[in-house]
Amino acid sequence: MTIHILISIHILIHIGIQMKEHTYRLAILFFVIILWTGCGRKNIPVGTTPDIPISEDDMRAIEDGKEKEELNKEDLSNPEIKEIETLAPYLLMSLEKTDCPGFCPVFELRVFSDGRALYRGTKDVALIGKFESRLTNDQLTMLIEEAERIGFYNMAKQYPTNGKVIQELPTTITSINQLSKAHSITNRFDSPKRLRSFETYVIQFFQQLNWQRIAG
């Protein structure tokens, strides 16, 4: 640095003697620029990343972490989908007439939520034995809607409401189960007209079905 400055000053003095003032100023500016650029440069070492060796234990830990990460991603992207089991058919409606000392039709009707209907005739009926038939969804809906219309779920559980029993009279037991609500009525006598009309409606409805005899 000092040698460069001395040489530059010597040159400037020599030029200053031989040049005019204006040219002398330009020469000074020129050599100052050369002196600044030449002396201002510094050798900057290039940084390098140190090579740090990785042990086998560290490498196994890294690989194990990658495997766990990939496994977790697979679990999140491909969740297990479980099949939903369908609800098994259940008893939707039943109507039963009991025996009496005289002429009394004795039978039992059952209809399930899938439309399957069962009939068993015991006494004073046209069909004696066990029979099977099937209702459509529309027919099932008609039965339930008629029960709703007469207010079946709001009626008493038994008639007469005082629980009096007359052995000579038959009993009609009607039950409806819609899962969300269920009701059963035991009708001996002295019941509302709309209940008796509903019992007749159900019996006539099932009489129109095509019944097939089954074993048992």
pLDDT in 10s for each residue of the chain, 216 residues: 555 555 555 555 555 555 555 555 555 555 555 555 554 444 444 445 455 566 666 566 555 655 555 545 555 555 555 555 567 999 999 999 999 998 999 999 999 999 999 999 999 999 999 999 999 999 999 999 999 999 999 999 999 999 888 888 999 999 999 999 999 999 999 999 999 999 999 999 999 999 999 997
**Contact present, 97 and 104 (Cβ < 8 Å):** yes
Sequence spans of domains, the chain = 1-36, 91-213
Tokens at residue 144, please? 């339930």
Cα–Cα nearest to 135, from 214, 196, 208 = 208
Q: Given strand 106-112, what is the order of strands in its sheet?
A: 158-159, 182-187, 172-177, 91-97, 106-112, 116-123, 129-134, 212-213
**What topology is assigned to 91-213 in CATH?**
Mago nashi protein (3.30.1560)
pTM of the model: 0.61
Instruction: State which H helix or E strand residue 212 sits in.
Output: strand 212-213
The tens digit of pLDDT for each residue in 149-170 reads: 999 999 999 999 998 888 889 9
The tens digit of pLDDT for each residue in 48-75 reads: 545 556 666 656 655 565 555 554 555 5
